[in-house]
Amino acid sequence: MIINCEGVHYISYGCIQINQELGKGAFGTVYKGTWKNKAVALKTIDIANVKKNFSHLKQSDVIQAIEWEVARISSVVHPGVVQFYGNYQSNELCPLYIVMEFCAKGTLQRELSKNDHPWDIKIQWAIEMSLGLKYLHEKGIIHRDLKAENVLITQSNSAKLADLGVAQVDPLLSSVKAEVVESGLQDQRFIAPEIFLERKNISTLKTDIYALGLVFLQIVQRDVPPFP
**Which residues line the annotated binding site for ATP?**
43
Q: Rounded CA gap, 20 and 17, in Å? A: 10
The set of long-range contacts for 12-18, using a CB threshold of 8 Å and a minimum separation of 24, is 13/88, 13/89, 13/90, 13/91, 14/90, 15/88, 16/40, 16/42, 16/88, 16/97, 16/99, 18/42, 18/97
CA 163 to chain centre: 1
Residue ranges of the annotated binding site are: 43
Angle at 70 between CA 193 and CA 200, to 5 degrees: 20
Beta bridge partners of 107: 152
Residues 6+ apart with CB under 8 A from 33: 16, 17, 18, 19, 39, 40, 41, 42, 99
Q: What CA–CA distance (Å, rounded) separates 90 from 185?
A: 30
Q: Cβ(160)–Cβ(152) under 8 Å?
A: yes
